[in-house]
Structure 1
Amino acid sequence: MTAYLTSIRAIILREALRFIHQRERFVAALVRPLVWLLVFAAGFRAALGLSIIPPYQTYITYETYIVPGLCGMILLFNGMQSSLSLVYDREMGSMKLLLTSPLPRGWLLFCKLLGSTAISILQVYAFLAIAAAFDIRMPGWGYVTVLPALIVAGLMLGALGLLLSSLIKQLENFAGVMNFVIFPMFFLSSALYPLWKMAESSELLHDICAVNPFTHAVELIRFALYVEWNGMALLWTVLAAGLFAAAALIGYDPERTRIGRRG
């Protein structure tokens, strides 16, 4: 048990130190959602009228609607940033040293996942504080009840990052992942517009958005910010997290890697 606790403390501390030494990463993580909140929202406010939909009890501004989606954006892009760092560590050899530890490989990957999720959550709360400074506030208790939702959503998106890092062999391929995985996952969700609005345009796009795991992560955060329960969103987010984590474990399986090299 001591070895397990030492490993999780060391890995999380390493992730925290890396984050502290990369201040531009923190700034970039906040600039992206703030641009959407303060610039794009002003233009979309008139075009995307919103009806009263759960968990909202009254009409809201478009800026208020997209806050949960932008929280999800921070978790998503930070998960992909963690994926990029894993690919870099593998190329530099430090990932190999980590995975040759006598501890179970699944535990080591979980520690990496937990560290990146903790950093993502800190960035989300920093964003929520800046949004509140611009008079875009959530219910008081929502800042507390959203924490479990952020943990679940962060673990799911971090597990997706782990899966992608097991598939990406070179840093140069990361740009393709951004174009064909991250951006479609973000835009084909309820982060920027409600699903009923998407249904007015295309039933097919609505169905794609409805099965997108990122949609359920965003809705889990949205309901939690308003101190409401969304069991279906929680279920699908947890199932997606388990699926991504299991696939990542298979991707990092040493026997599979050795067979692939022989082939």
Structure 2
Amino acid sequence: MSPYATSLIAIVKREALRFIHQRERFVAALVRPLVWLLVFAAGFRAALGLSIIPPYQTYITYETYIVPGLCGMIMLFNGMQSSLSLVYDREMGSMKLLLTSPLPRWWVLFCKLIGSTAISILQVYTFLAIAAAFGITMPALGYVAVLPALIVAGVMLGALGLLLSSFIKQLENFAGVMNFVIFPMFFLSSALYPLWKMAESSELLHTICALNPFTHAVELIRFALYLDFNGAALIWALLAMAVFTVAALWGYNPARTGLGKRR
């Protein structure tokens, strides 16, 4: 087996073991979207009427509308949680060991992204299964078709977390930065309400939501769940992924940080 494959398996296995040993992390990842789905959606159902918009062919309940957005929420929070683990690894010294390995730095960071994305996808499918148990279902083939969309969204949000971790030096500073990123991205998106609703309130907010990369990740998931394809959302998500990844690689450049510099 090549060193690249060996390192990929080892890092993904390490991320999986860390996740398994942190059961409260798995529970917390599901509690947040379930509270929105079962509690907040019940209150917003009457206030937020929905028209027939793509990819839906008929009127839907508000609970059905927000499921893709809540899938995106899971991936967003997990991406930030992954960046927290990177900051912790850097403080403990294990990150330096990884970055001083003979393999290229970009490959080591890519393996971390793959591990984070795999965990996110597992959490999303668990949430979709719980939602189906409450009667909120999608087309059967949609659960398969959504996998590529989840991979793109997971890598994009994981790359964002990777970028943040390259600039956060201490765990104490992480909570403030995390909230500064997560909540604007989540609420200024189409996760909880369609963009046309936002346009009725403010054109400026509508523009901000339309430019938000998280909006396009959510729409990519939404269309895939209903066996439809959103080319614009895919392009914007891939562009955001590329920008976040390049910026993260620059952030972990040893010439800038001295982290893992070979002597």
Q: CA deviation at 1:174?
A: 1.1
* Aligned partner letter, 1:9: I
- 2:177 is aligned to 177
Q: CA deviation at 1:257?
A: 1.2
Q: CA deviation at 1:60?
A: 0.2
- 1:60 is aligned to 60
* Aligned partner letter, 2:56: Y
- 1:89 is aligned to 89
- 2:228 is aligned to 228
Q: Structure 1: which 4+ aligned runs deviate by more than 4 Å?
A: none
Alignment length (residue pairs): 259
What per-residue deviation string (whole Å, max 9, x for no partner) do you get for residues 158-192 of structure 1?
A: 00000000011111111111221110000000000
- 2:104 is aligned to 104
Rounded Cα–Cα distance in structure 1 between residues aligned with 2:116 and 2:179: 22
- 1:242 is aligned to 242
- SS of the residue corresponding to residue 161 of structure 2 reads helix
Rounded Cα–Cα distance in structure 2 between residues aligned with 1:179 and 1:88: 18
- 1:47 is aligned to 47
- 2:192 is aligned to 192
Rounded Cα–Cα distance in structure 2 between residues aligned with 1:179 and 1:106: 27
Rounded Cα–Cα distance in structure 1 between residues aligned with 2:55 and 2:212: 20
What per-residue deviation string (whole Å, max 9, x for no partner) do you get for residues 204-244 of structure 1?
A: 00000000000000000000000001000000000000000
- 1:130 is aligned to 130
- SS of the residue corresponding to residue 46 of structure 1 reads coil
* Aligned partner letter, 2:234: L
What per-residue deviation string (whole Å, max 9, x for no partner) do you get for residues 62-105 of structure 1?
A: 00000000000000000000000000000000000000001000
Counterparts of residues 9-48 of structure 1 (less than 5 Å):
9-48=9-48
- SS of the residue corresponding to residue 24 of structure 1 reads helix
- List alignment gaps of at least 5 residues for structure 2: none
Rounded Cα–Cα distance in structure 2 between residues aligned with 1:137 and 1:107: 38
Rounded Cα–Cα distance in structure 1 between residues aligned with 2:187 and 2:178: 12
Rounded Cα–Cα distance in structure 1 between residues aligned with 2:207 and 2:189: 10
Rounded Cα–Cα distance in structure 2 between residues aligned with 1:176 and 1:78: 16
- 2:72 is aligned to 72
- 1:150 is aligned to 150
Report sequence identity in percent: 85
Moved more, 169-178 or 17-26: 169-178
* Aligned partner letter, 2:10: A
- 1:218 is aligned to 218
Two-structure CA RMSD over aligned residues (Å): 0.9
- Please give the TM-score of this superposition, normalised by the length of structure 2: 0.97
* Aligned partner letter, 1:26: F
Rounded Cα–Cα distance in structure 1 between residues aligned with 2:111 and 2:92: 20
What per-residue deviation string (whole Å, max 9, x for no partner) do you get for residues 23-57 of structure 1?
A: 00000000000000000000000000000000000
